[in-house]
Structure 1
Amino acid sequence: MANNQNKSYLSPREAAKLLMVSPITVRAWAQKGLLPSETTLGGHRRFLRESVEQFAKQSKAIPERSDLRVLIVDDDKQVAGFLVEWLSGLDEPFIVSSAADGFEAGSKVYTFEPDIILLDLMMPKLDGFAVCQQIKADPDTRDIRVIAMTGYPSLENEQRILEAGAEICISKPLDTKFLLGLLKAEL
């Protein structure tokens, strides 16, 4: 018991900061057995500082990711289908997935682990404003880039989504050359 009190434990967020990755990535490494972790009685993962530091030194243990994961969130199946097909067909290292509404986007943020979300503003039930606010309010997902898209451009909509945390709001029909430039800024 006294031995455990002398050990320095890190939360997933603290370990992620030390490793310069997202907490989602740290949890994924733990689930795959790449990064040793312990579970508290409350069910939370904790990492020994020594284990995290040793993991960081083993650069080969950290898989290099040259791909860019893009999640398209749009209830318009034609728009979403076009974007999936277009991005998948480019000679860029994009991995693409889509969600048909805000609720599906909420779960895909954790399972797909996107780097960027292309987010429609006007969707039934949970609109893009609410989705963006939730993503940016969660410490595990707030670093995901959000590019908002709308078929109803207005200064009010743009201001609302930027205040929610999106980096930009672009109008539909989309200027694919401009959009590709925004996406490539991540590469």
Structure 2
Amino acid sequence: MKDLLIDIISEILKVPIERDKTFEWSKITQYNKIDVRVYHDLFSKVYSTLGVDSSMIGKIHKPYFSCDAYVGGSFNFVFEFDTLIDFCTHRENTLNLYEGNLKTHYDIDKWISYCRIYKVQADQYQKNQKINGFNPPNGKSAKRTLIDFIKDAYPKIENLNPTVRFCEFEVMKVNVNDKRDKSNYKVVEELLREKLS
């Protein structure tokens, strides 16, 4: 589904898209006040809420991560596709911390409502997996949530436009069996119009 959506977005916006894009900031690390600037208080709250162990965060296995896609040209934004496992309790708690100056191109209240619906299921995914830098249980979902937060916060710091997120519950009408189905383009075009307005 993700690859199909990226293909359609590229055609609709008529711009090349870099898949699995890694930026200099695409790394889980102990932030510092100078780097995160206006979001310092928010970073502090998020790291605390997720139970990040600052003494261990430098020892995280595979600290670098990629974004699903980067949409270039005048659009200049990161694109992410969220699935059920992303709507966990950690995500809900973190989204509730977002401040008015953290602009995103997705409806945070809608994302919180998805968390409330699906968090019981999402929390079961790799529930007992231990992750350096994150206090158990659910260290895996805490790490995933921190990555999502970084993808939302750093674009403004790095002069990108706000992150655009789609989720699987918004694109259920997309026909993955027929990539050229015109109705697919209509669904994606309407979502882009809604999110970029």
TM-score of the aligned structures, taking structure 2 as reference length: 0.30
Higher relative contact order (CA 8 A, sep 6+): 2
Larger radius of gyration: 1
More strand by share: 1
TM-score of the aligned structures, taking structure 1 as reference length: 0.32
